């Protein structure tokens, strides 16, 4: 019995299915709570960029036929912003390979990195500027980079619409 007089929950009996990434019930619960959007680093960056007067799409597909979303999308100027988590994207500074279920995680993280590179290449081929930031970077510095890049792309778009010397 617990302190409140309630019966204690039985010890958790959970066995991971064959090939599962979850090495324990606690690991599974922890991983299921991870967010894939609206993380703290994303919210900080979005807040700073919004305060600078820029508007953007959140968690949007830069290209309609691409099954991938960017954290921030500036469609008119073709700028896609990604904030990559150190664990999920294999940060060279902070990533530590889990000791449990190592083969699964090596394959998973490598697939994520390959998908990131493929996304970057496909967007670049379509004329997009891709900005990637690690979650541990200073949000103000990342915001300044985004603001400068969007401003520069806007100038390029304006210049192409109104070339000098045209009447």
Query: Tens of pLDDT along 79-124?
Result: 999 999 999 999 999 999 999 889 989 999 999 999 999 999 999 9
Q: Residue 23: which residues within 8 A CB-CB, separation 6 or more?
A: 16, 100, 101
- 3-class state of residue 64 by DSSP: coil
Please state the φ and ψ torsions of residue 123, each to the nearest 5 degrees: -70, -40
pLDDT of 163 reads: 82
- Say whether pLDDT at 36 is over 80: no
- Say whether pLDDT at 10 is over 80: no
- 3-class state of residue 133 by DSSP: strand
User: pTM here?
Assistant: 0.80
């Amino acid at each position: 019995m617990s302190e409140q007089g309630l019966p204690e929950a039985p010890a958790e009996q959970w066995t991971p299915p064959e090939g599962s990434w979850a090495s324990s019930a606690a690991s599974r619960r922890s991983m299921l709570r991870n967010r894939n959007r609206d993380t703290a680093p994303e919210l900080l960056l979005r807040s700073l960029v919004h305060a600078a007067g820029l508007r953007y799409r959140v968690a949007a597909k830069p290209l309609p036929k691409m099954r991938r979303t960017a954290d921030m999308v500036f469609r008119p100027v073709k700028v896609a912003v990604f904030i990559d988590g150190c664990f999920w994207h294999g940060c060279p500074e902070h990533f530590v390979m889990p000791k449990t279920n190592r083969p699964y995680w090596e394959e998973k993280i490598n697939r994520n990195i390959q998908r990131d590179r493929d996304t970057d290449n496909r967007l670049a081929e379509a004329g997009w500027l891709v900005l990637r930031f690690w979650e541990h970077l200073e949000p103000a510095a990342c915001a300044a980079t985004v603001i400068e890049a969007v401003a520069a792309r806007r100038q390029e778009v304006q210049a192409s619409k109104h070339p000098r010397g045209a009447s």
